[in-house]
Structure 1
């Protein structure tokens, strides 16, 4: 059985190559200067940063993520809202470890984020993959080719004068072999990919010499729920599935809750 598992992993590995870049959506204030990273294995990453300007910024206001163009077409309003919230959540966690989260006041740096593509997850294929992963033990997970979802996002840091200081065009599709867990939700893969997106945003907008800082107390991202989801880990382990309700901890924020 282990031999069969190994053959499957090798046979599907070719489908886990780097995601192709997504066309510019027009969301960013400028695209010149974006440089494609060649050292990424799974994601398409194009980015730029003015280190001198980024070093002068301490406080950042996080604008809520928005859908751009036809992103999310075919998805329900709750599904689209869930993806936007998870993108906001993961970006909030990462940015808060490098900058002070500020309110929207004149002269404050802003981070704008646009979701430019949400590729739905194939539920039937995910169910089959979950069963297969239970029956064929091995490292990582095996997904059904052609049923994996994806996420593409553009984000930019604007300085107090409104000029672009840093920008990122990021896209990734869930791998057929790896750590992207199957999900019966059509946005299961997009939700999972929000976490590496958040990492990429934090790295892109931060000056190279800026260290990750301890989480402030109280946590400025508390409105999104706790940063760790132990129940989500257990659910994945027992069922082999990513379940948004327990993996994101994303119960809607109370009405009137101010954003960081």
Structure 2
């Protein structure tokens, strides 16, 4: 038997969906996952926002006095116990590096891997909460169908993924100048469903990179300050334009418009993101 939803029934259908969604968690809960990559975990203060959990510390005078920074490629520490595809993990870690480079270039001169720098940044993915691909596919189909009917429909709040990561900054003498432990789960309103086990973690990688780089740019807790981001520069970079610092080209261009379309269609990250540049 085939059922057809008449236009007059759409408001009632939307209301019913809203009631069901209200009874379910609207975002994935991802605990802070402390790894072993930081030189020190001492003196970190609890912070974070409405969606993000974090602990951090920053030596403001040392960070604000620095002019150059080098990014060591992000690594993965036992995230998922080896259950994720290596190519997906490479895209995820590179997306973290790309976001860090974009954010740090707002104030610092980002230099290449073989060049000296005042500060050295290294991030580690400590946990990935897998996205349920079947639910993501169902959610994408439902959302696209609702869009055609002009009925806004949030993502199905089941099988949401998440990301936990940590990063630190060391000075030329090897001493830690800033550190952060960070976690965030996908939510049904702002995180587009991607049919990939790392889809949500990939989508959240830019948020982690932005939070950590903002802490260094401002020299203070990024969750308690407003950002003075060079908006046009970041808009151009997000749409695939050349980054301000040549060193950032090592992480490849942002997926741009193709990536935005892929996100709307629920396609895996690899459909639009080609990863690091070949010369890296």
More helix by share: 2
TM-based fold match above 0.5: yes
Give yes or no for contact 2:164–2:184 (8 Å, CA) kept in 1.
yes
Residue 163 of structure 1 is aligned with which of 142, 154, 175? 175
Residue aligning to 1:223: 250
Give yes or no for contact 2:94–2:275 (8 Å, CA) kept in 1.
no
Residue 243 of structure 1 is aligned with which of 268, 274, 279? 268
Tell me by how many angstroms 1:10 deviates: 5.5
Q: Using the alignment, how far apart are the partners of 1:193 and 1:113 within structure 2? A: 14
TM, length-normalised to structure 1: 0.84
| Max Rg structure | 2
In the alignment, structure 2 segments of 5+ residues that lack a partner are 1-9, 221-226, 235-242
Q: Using the alignment, how far apart are the partners of 1:174 and 1:221 within structure 2? A: 27
Taking structure 1 as reference, are residues 151 and 131 closer, same or farther at Cα in structure 2, changes over 3 Å only?
A: same
Tell me by how many angstroms 1:110 deviates: 0.4
- SS at the partner of 1:28? coil
Give yes or no for contact 2:33–2:165 (8 Å, CA) kept in 1.
no
Q: Using the alignment, how far apart are the partners of 2:28 and 2:43 within structure 1? A: 22
Residue 119 of structure 1 is aligned with which of 129, 132, 136? 129
Matched, 1:154 2:166: yes
Note the alpha carbon deviations across 1:48-102, whole angstroms, 9 max, x for none: 2111111111101100001113455211221222211211122121112221112
RMSD: 2.7
Give 1:168-207 correspondences, 5 Å limit: 168-175=180-187, 177-207=188-218
In the alignment, structure 1 segments of 5+ residues that lack a partner are none
Give yes or no for contact 1:34–1:47 (8 Å, CA) kept in 2.
yes
Note the alpha carbon deviations across 1:79-136, whole angstroms, 9 max, x for none: 2222112111221211122211124445631001111011221111111111221334
Residue aligning to 1:134: 144
Residue aligning to 1:73: 82
TM, length-normalised to structure 2: 0.78
Q: Using the alignment, how far apart are the partners of 1:140 and 1:99 within structure 2? A: 41
Q: Using the alignment, how far apart are the partners of 2:117 and 2:17 within structure 1? A: 55
Tell me by how many angstroms 1:250 deviates: 2.5
Tell me by how many angstroms 1:205 deviates: 1.9
Taking structure 1 as reference, are residues 222 and 171 closer, same or farther at Cα in structure 2, changes over 3 Å only?
A: same
Worse-superposed segment, 188-197 or 223-232: 223-232
Taking structure 1 as reference, are residues 111 and 252 closer, same or farther at Cα in structure 2, changes over 3 Å only?
A: closer
